[in-house]
């Protein structure tokens, strides 16, 4: 599954102090790992600590916040960036379920999204992402692995477009 390139420019991300940090060890924002991704990590010998029922990464607690086990807070970088899960690759876009309908949504807490929301570039990327998700192989895989679809109620999450092909 080849996803369109990351929307947020890398140099912007490396200056940010928001992503990969969470308010609690059981955060619903913790990255979800698809079965294919779990197999890849095992094949590469990369230790993966997941919560058993949810297949979400077990977060690491620090004195100020919790963070992803693959995040290096000193360098502000992901240590498995090229292998990061689809959940992380999509961000600040995400899959969201509301009243049994699935949407492509965006987290406006991302300061780059706050700057770019609604621009022509934003809309063009949204179209690319929609076409990627609509591919039969991708849509079928997501439908089989519905836990990647979040049920996020934060005000910062804005539903953008309905994805009926991902619904039950």
For residue 86, the enclosing domain spans 10-153
pLDDT at site 168: 81
**pTM of the predicted protein model:** 0.89
The mean pLDDT values, 10 residues at a time, for the chain of 168 residues are 81 84 89 93 94 90 90 91 91 93 94 93 95 95 92 88 94
Residue 158 is assigned to a structural domain of this protein: no
Residue 20 is assigned to a structural domain of this protein: yes
What token pair was written down for 29? 């924002």
- Alpha carbon distance 139, 4 (integer Å): 15
pLDDT at site 1: 59
Residue 168 is assigned to a structural domain of this protein: no
Domain count, the chain: 1
Query: 111-148 burial, b if ≥16 CB within 10 A, otherwise e?
Result: ebbeebeeeeebeebbeebeeebeeeebeebbeebeeb
Reported residue count of the chain is: 168
- Alpha carbon distance 121, 113 (integer Å): 11
Residue 31 is assigned to a structural domain of this protein: yes
pLDDT at site 103: 96
Residue 4 is assigned to a structural domain of this protein: no
Residue 103 is assigned to a structural domain of this protein: yes
Residue 138 is assigned to a structural domain of this protein: yes
Residue 164 is assigned to a structural domain of this protein: no
């Amino acid at each position: 599954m080849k996803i369109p390139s990351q929307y947020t420019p890398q140099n912007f991300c490396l200056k940010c102090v928001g992503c990969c940090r969470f308010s609690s060890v059981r955060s619903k924002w913790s990255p979800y790992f698809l079965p294919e991704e779990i197999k890849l990590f095992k094949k590469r010998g990369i230790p993966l600590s997941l919560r058993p029922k949810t297949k979400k990464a077990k977060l690491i607690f620090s004195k100020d916040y919790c963070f992803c086990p693959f995040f290096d807070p000193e360098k502000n970088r992901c240590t498995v960036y090229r292998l990061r899960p689809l959940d992380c690759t999509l961000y600040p876009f995400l899959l969201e379920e509301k009243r049994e309908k699935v949407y492509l949504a965006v987290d406006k807490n991302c300061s780059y999204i706050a700057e770019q929301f609604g621009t022509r570039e934003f809309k063009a990327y949204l179209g690319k992402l929609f076409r990627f998700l609509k591919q039969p192989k991708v849509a079928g895989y997501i439908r089989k692995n519905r836990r990647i679809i979040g049920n996020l109620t934060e005000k910062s999450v804005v539903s953008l477009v309905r994805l009926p092909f991902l619904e039950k």
